[in-house]
């Protein structure tokens, strides 16, 4: 039996059924965040420092995420991120402000009395179990993308590549490491010698396995899964499905006029060597998801 919903009040508003957008790196969570942030009544944050610190601590140290105090820690971090005030967006990442479409100074939330709170920060996927414990009534929207396109985008993203420095798998690292996709300490040396494309593929593989676990464990009323390729091809249908799932009107216009990386761009962006390695590492998941 799940614990009762914790009562969290932010700016005088009770947080009820918060929404969290999940996905592997460069899988399109930012597109869904744009839709939510530009829809009336939503207050969705992305990469706020207080939340990012907690998310990455949980991702790199799963034992911390399993501790009894983890739900309170992430609730407190989100409460700080969701606070609305003159200085609320201090330290707010540029991507968060851009996604909101708000250009003037001050908070980048369209409604000063939001009805729905949420977060779509990078790598939030690894905190999904903690978020569910912290907010048993939460709703999750996750997006899955072709791992080869993910690898191509990760290779071009310096922020992603910093996670592959040798010290990320130090002697005191915890295993298995879903964040880096390494199953045991026995694989540390192999990971250290692996080319970057293989490390990116490992991260994608581990992330989609977490997504598959959520699909098995969460009821349909709490989890919606979308494909990046479908969002690009039929944005209206993707937004309609999300709106129905959240029981709230959403702004379809937010998806038009964006310039996301096109589906299948890996064909021109990955070298033959990188492509072969990515497909070798993630073949099982690419096949299961219909990409191979």
Q: Give the CATH number for residue 75.
A: 3.40.50
Residue bearing the bigger pLDDT, 202 or 108: 202
Locate 278 and state its tokens.
């990515």
Residues 249 and 280 in one domain: no
pLDDT in the model for residue 1: 47
Average pLDDT, integer, range 83-108: 71
Residues 110 and 250 in one domain: yes
Residues 62 and 126 in one domain: yes
What are 23-51's pLDDT values in tens digits?
999 999 999 999 998 888 888 999 889 99
Assess whether pLDDT exceeds 70 at residue 59: yes
Assess whether pLDDT exceeds 60 at residue 249: yes
What are 117-149's pLDDT values in tens digits?
999 998 999 999 999 999 999 999 999 999 999
Residues 70 and 177 in one domain: no
Residues 86 and 199 in one domain: no
Handedness of CA 143, 124, 66, 194 (dihedral sign): positive
| Residues 178 and 126 sit within 8 Å (Cβ to Cβ) | yes
Residues 47 and 116 in one domain: yes
Full residue range of the structural domain in which residue 24 is found: 1-145+219-260
- Total domains, the chain: 2
Residues 139 and 2 in one domain: yes
What are 253-286's pLDDT values in tens digits?
888 767 678 999 999 999 999 999 999 999 999 9
Residues 71 and 136 in one domain: yes
Residues 40 and 175 in one domain: no
User: Burial code of 196-215, b = ≥16 C-beta within 10 A, e = fewer?
Assistant: ebbbbbbbbbbbbebbeebe
pTM above 0.85, yes or no: yes
Assess whether pLDDT exceeds 60 at residue 113: yes
Percent of the chain with pLDDT over 70: 90
């Amino acid at each position: 039996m799940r614990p009762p919903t914790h009562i969290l009040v932010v700016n005088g508003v009770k947080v009820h059924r918060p929404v969290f957008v999940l996905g592997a790196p460069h899988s399109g969570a930012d597109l869904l965040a744009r839709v939510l942030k530009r829809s009336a009544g939503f207050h969705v944050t992305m990469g706020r420092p207080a939340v990012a610190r907690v998310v990455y601590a949980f991702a790199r140290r799963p034992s911390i995420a399993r501790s009894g105090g983890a739900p309170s820690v992430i609730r407190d971090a989100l409460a700080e991120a969701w606070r609305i005030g003159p200085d609320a967006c201090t330290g707010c990442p540029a991507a968060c402000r851009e996604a909101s479409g708000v250009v003037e100074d001050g908070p980048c939330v369209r409604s000063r009395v939001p009805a729905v709170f949420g977060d779509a920060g990078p790598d939030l996927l690894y905190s999904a179990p903690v978020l569910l414990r912290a907010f048993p009534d939460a709703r999750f929207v996750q997006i899955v993308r072709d791992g080869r396109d993910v690898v191509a985008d990760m290779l071009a993203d310096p922020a992603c590549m910093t996670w592959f420095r040798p010290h990320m798998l130090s002697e005191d690292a915890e295993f298995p490491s879903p964040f880096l996709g390494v199953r045991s300490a026995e694989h540390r040396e192999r990971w250290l010698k692996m080319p970057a494309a293989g490390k990116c593929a490992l991260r994608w593989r581990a992330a989609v396995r977490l997504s598959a676990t959520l699909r098995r464990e969460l009821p349909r009323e709490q989890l919606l899964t979308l494909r990046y390729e479908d969002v690009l091809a039929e944005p209206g249908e993707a937004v309609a499905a999300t709106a129905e799932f959240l029981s709230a009107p959403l702004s379809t216009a937010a998806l038009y006029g964006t310039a996301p990386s096109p589906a299948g761009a890996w064909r021109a962006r990955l070298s033959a060597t990188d492509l072969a390695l990515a497909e070798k590492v993630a073949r099982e998941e690419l096949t299961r998801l219909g990409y191979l």
